[in-house]
Copies of this chain bind each other. A is one copy, B any other.
Amino acid sequence: MDTTQLLKGVLDLAVLAVLKDEDGYGYDILRRLRTAGLEEVGDASVYGTLRRLFQAGLLTTYVVPSEEGPHRKYYGLNAAGRDQLQRAGKTWRTFASTMDGLLDERGVAA
């Protein structure tokens, strides 16, 4: 099944969420998302999202040269990012329950 379209607008939220408790770098964030169940996320999508969130002023970033491989560009939430995470989370929950209500009323896909 194709979840590409479903991800639209939600990937931002997902990335903010996996960064809530611990800073992370792109490749690691990709793994976190896939581990969490979003297995079809492409790497380019994550890197693009990180750039977008950073440009929106929601993330801080710093590069850590690794002795065992390529350098790692870490990202972390700032105050605005945490705020946005809460707001986007609420928006998602509201939207999701609206959809669930719509489907439940009509007995779709129990």
Q: Given A4-B9, A8-B6, A103 and B91 touching (CB < 8 A)?
A: no
In chain A, positions 81-101 with a C-beta closer than 8 Å to chain B are 85-93, 95-96, 98-101
> Taking the complex as formed, is A59 at the interface, i.e. its CB lies under 8 A from any CB of chain B?
no
Q: Given A9-B4, A9-B8, A99-B96, A90 and B106 touching (CB < 8 A)?
A: no
Question: Which single residue of chain B is at the shortest CB-CB distance from A16?
Answer: B108
Chain B residues within an 8 Å CB radius of A21: 106
Q: Is the interface of A mostly helix, strand, loop or mixed?
A: helix
> Taking the complex as formed, is A3 at the interface, i.e. its CB lies under 8 A from any CB of chain B?
yes
- With most chain B CB atoms within 10 A of its CB, the pick from A93, A95, A108 is A108
